[in-house]
Amino acid sequence: MLAQIEFENVTDKAGLVSPLKGIMGHGAAWGDVNGDGFPDLFVGNFADRPDDKYNQRGHSDGPAPDKLLINNGDGTFKEVEDSPVRITGRNSGAAFADFDNDGDLDLVTSHQSFDGPAYEGTEHQRPRTGYNVKNERPNNFLFENDGTGNFIDITDHAGLDLGWPFLGRNTFVFDYDGDGLLDLLMQEDFVAPFKSGGNSRLLKNLGSLKFEDVTAKANLPHGFRNGLYGLGGVVGDINGDTWPDIFFAHSCRMFISNKDGTFHEKIYQMVDEKLTEDGTTNSNWTCGADFGDIDNDGDMDIVMGDHLLNDHPNHRIYVF
C-alpha cells in the first residue's frame, strides 16, 4: 500500500499573505540568494488585468510588482522592498542560476511585451513596464547577484532584450553545448494579439554575463511566424545520452541534442498536435510538461497538463 502524502498550508505562518496581495502569480523560483542555507523566493505577477482582479483581501492598489522574499531562517519570509527585480508587467517565467560561475545565484525573469490597449477600469496601466509600450522596457531581465543577495539589473549588458513584440512564457536554464556555462532558452507564447506562431530563442552564454542568440546556429526553428512556440515545456535527457533535449508543450515538438551544440527534431506521433483555425487545439492548450521515469524502466516518459479548465480535462502521460 502506498503511504499517504500530506501537505499543510503554511502561507499565513510563513508571513506570505500580506506581501503577496495584489499578485496574480504566473512565475516563481526558489533559490538561496544570500548563501545562508535557506531557500529564498521570487514571485512574478501577471499584471495586466483590471484593478479589481488584484484588489482582494483588503488590497486596494491594483497589481503589485514582482516580489523577492528572503527566508528569515525560521520558516518566515521578508519582502525586499527596494530590489530592482520589482518589475510591474506580465511576468511568466523566472529562474535562479549561477550564470557567471562565481558561486552565487543570479536571477533571470521573462515578461510579455506588447502595446495593446489598456483593460477598462485599469488605473495602473502606464507604470506597468516590461510589456505595455513598444520599446519602453525590456521583456526579459537579468539581475546579477553581488554575492550578498543584492541584485543589479544588467539586462542591457547581457543582451537579453529580445525586442518588440516578445510574449515571454517560460525560462529554461541549461548548458546546451557542454562548455561549462549555463545558457538560456526563452520560450515565447503564441497567444494573440500577434498570432505569430512564436519565436523562442536559444541564448548562448559567452561568459562575463553576455549572451548571444544562437537559435539558428543550433538548428532550431527561428524567425517571426516561423519560430518555436509553447505554453510550457521541459529540458532534459530524453534518450539517455547525457545531453539535454528540448520538448515544448502545446506545439508538442521534441528536439534532440546532436551533442555538438545543434539539435534535430524527432517526431512522436502520439504528441503531434495541429492548431485549428482559431489558434487552439483539441487538447485544451497543453501547458505544463515534465520528464520522469513513470514506469521505472530506466528511460524518460512525458507528462503534460492542460491550461484551461473544463469538464473533461485532457491531462495525459506518454510512456516510452
Please provide residue 109's backbone torsions phi and psi, each rounded to the nearest 5 degrees.
Answer: -130, 150
- Look at residue 278 in the predicted model and tell me its pLDDT: 45
> How many other CB atoms sit within 10 Å of the CB of residue 135?
10
Q: What is the mean pLDDT of residues 296-318?
A: 70
- Look at residue 318 in the predicted model and tell me its pLDDT: 55
Q: Which long-range contacts (CB under 8 A, 24 or more apart) does 299-307 make?
A: 299/238, 299/239, 299/240, 300/236, 300/237, 300/238, 300/240, 302/234, 302/247, 302/271, 304/232, 304/249, 304/271, 307/231, 307/250
Question: From CA 15, how far away is CA 36, in angstroms rounded?
Answer: 19
> What nine digits make up the cell of 116?
495593446
Model pTM? Answer: 0.86
Q: What is the mean pLDDT of residues 193-203?
A: 72
Q: Is the pLDDT of residue 167 over 90?
A: no
pLDDT one-digit tens code per residue, 122-159 = 333 333 343 444 445 667 899 999 999 999 999 989 99
- Look at residue 114 in the predicted model and tell me its pLDDT: 47
- Look at residue 87 in the predicted model and tell me its pLDDT: 85
Q: Is the pLDDT of residue 291 over 60?
A: yes
pLDDT one-digit tens code per residue, 40-76 = 999 999 887 888 888 888 888 888 889 999 999 999 9
